[in-house]
Amino acid sequence: MSIVLPERLDEMYDRIIRLVLSGRAPERQLARDVFVWLVYAARQLTLSELQDAIVLETLPESHNDRRSDSDFRNAILSACACLIEVDGKHKHASVRFIHVSAREYLVGAAPCDGNHATPSHESGRLELCPLECHSKLARACLLCIKFHLPTQQITGDGGLIQAEPAIEAQISSPFFEYASGSWIDHLHDAVTSAQGGRAVSLHRSKELESVIQCLHSFLKNGFAVMSWIEVMYALSDPPDAKQLARWAKIASSSADLLLGDEDRQSLKVTQDFSHYLIRLANLWGDNLSKNPHCIWEEVTAFTPHNLLPRNMGFIVRTVRDESDDSSHQTPLREVVELGAFEDNQSALGTVTIYPSK
């Protein structure tokens, strides 16, 4: 009597992946996109978040053309064979691997030196390069911000949101909260390995070049950048400027990455902007945490940056000699009073300037 031994896990996954890659090109691409997000996302995504992420990254001009959740659910379950499952219903349903070993199998198939790798249905292998994948996810996040973030004040008096509901509930993409807070993490992880944060070798990566161009487009829109800063503080998740600075430094100093002059200039601009974000956190962090909308007011008035529209402001400095330790008290008499009046001499407003004490 013959005995059939259980199939080894890696052999089983090899067979399933060959089945996935034997399908039509659209299904192969959908499966790869799902696997990339499930392996490299910072947290587990909901079904709605995953759909928005994939649509934005593959068809940004059609970002509003969403399938129903049930149609998308059926599509990914079919494309990914039996490697994933959808847990829950409606918008809160989460997508995950059927077993932790499935993720470990795909991570183990990824080259650890950062070399370029793409899925090949001819070889029956699916390789997920961290550099390519994290760059791809960062680009999807930036595209989400581009298409869904209003380029105006969001909170506070005169802001878009006057009621109590959370910001993420007011913006049309379910993916927005993840995208706004995670694109810097994905950029950083694209150029560092998981082992101790060592820099990986940067080859000529189309995905990395594409995300640099996408970042350049984002930073050119000063109002969008100000809205993003406001939203991050409103969500109690200030930008991780140090990670952004490190990514830009590694990418710009790499001799392996072949970039044009415009892309390299974009990296320099990004480094400068990251240093500005650090300065912003040091000078205005508490104010922004309490009143995120002040980025549209005194913050950019007194701490400007050439990427951002500047508001008008004035700075009051003491006119007394600070070395004078005499107890003489300056009388509370105005130095000058400015006013604006209508034709009938009724005052529209006055500004009175007093000497410092």
Model confidence at 253: pLDDT above 60: yes
Asked which of 21-35, 132-146, 161-175 is least confident by mean pLDDT, the reply is: 161-175
Do 134 and 87 belong to one domain? no
C-alpha to C-alpha distances, 352 to 22, 224, 282, 336, 349, nearest whole angstrom: 77, 36, 31, 6, 10
Q: Determine, yes or no, domain membership for 328.
A: no
Model confidence at 105: pLDDT above 70: yes
Confidence of residue 118 (pLDDT cuts 50, 70, 90): very low
Model confidence at 326: pLDDT above 80: no
Please tell me what DSSP assigns to residue 295.
G
Q: How far apart are CA 322 and CA 216, in angstroms?
A: 46
Do 190 and 231 belong to one domain? yes
Q: Each residue of 183-220: pLDDT tens digit?
A: 999 999 988 753 344 444 555 567 778 888 899 999 99
Confidence of residue 168 (pLDDT cuts 50, 70, 90): low
Q: Each residue of 259-283: pLDDT tens digit?
A: 677 888 889 999 999 999 999 999 9
Q: Determine, yes or no, domain membership for 330.
A: no
Do 93 and 238 belong to one domain? no
Q: Give the domain-ending residue among 102, 127, 152.
A: 127
Q: Determine, yes or no, domain membership for 324.
A: no
Do 169 and 109 belong to one domain? no
Q: Total domain count for the chain?
A: 2
Q: Determine, yes or no, domain membership for 158.
A: yes
The fraction of the chain above a pLDDT of 70, given in percent, is 68
Confidence of residue 169 (pLDDT cuts 50, 70, 90): low
pLDDT given for residue 342 in this prediction: 56
Do 247 and 228 belong to one domain? yes
SS3 254: coil
Confidence of residue 121 (pLDDT cuts 50, 70, 90): very low
What's the rounded mean pLDDT across residues 232-237?
A: 91
Do 114 and 222 belong to one domain? no
Cβ-contact 205, 132 below 8 angstroms: yes
Q: Where are the alpha helices (DSSP H) in 162-292?
A: 167-170, 176-190, 206-220, 222-234, 241-253, 261-290
Structure-token pair, residue 14 = 């090899």
What φ, ψ does residue 62 adopt, rounded to 5°? -115, 30
Q: Each residue of 40-69: pLDDT tens digit?
A: 999 999 999 999 999 887 665 555 556 787
Do 141 and 115 belong to one domain? no
Structure-token pair, residue 91 = 């918008």
Q: How far apart are CA 259 and CA 156, in angstroms?
A: 41
Non-local (6+) Cβ contacts of 220 within 8 A are 307
Domain region containing 53: 1-127
Q: Determine, yes or no, domain membership for 334.
A: no
Q: Determine, yes or no, domain membership for 329.
A: no
Cβ-contact 212, 263 below 8 angstroms: yes
Q: Name the β-bridge partners of 349.
A: 340
Q: Determine, yes or no, domain membership for 64.
A: yes
Do 256 and 314 belong to one domain? yes
Neighbours of 119 (CB within 10 A): 20
Q: Name the β-bridge partners of 86.
A: 95
pLDDT given for residue 112 in this prediction: 47
Q: How far apart are CA 114 and CA 203, in angstroms?
A: 8
DSSP 307-341: TSPPPP-------S-TT----PPPP---SEEEEEE
Non-local (6+) Cβ contacts of 28 within 8 A are 20, 21, 79, 119, 121
Residue owning tokens 């407003």: 349
Do 165 and 178 belong to one domain? yes
Do 52 and 164 belong to one domain? no
Q: Which amino acid is at 121?
A: H
Do 256 and 210 belong to one domain? yes
Structure-token pair, residue 93 = 């349903």
Q: Determine, yes or no, domain membership for 142.
A: yes
CATH number of the domain that residue 9 is part of? 1.10.10
pLDDT given for residue 191 in this prediction: 82
Q: How far apart are CA 122 and CA 125, in angstroms?
A: 8
Average pLDDT, the chain: 78
Do 85 and 182 belong to one domain? no
Q: Give the domain-ending residue among 103, 127, 151.
A: 127
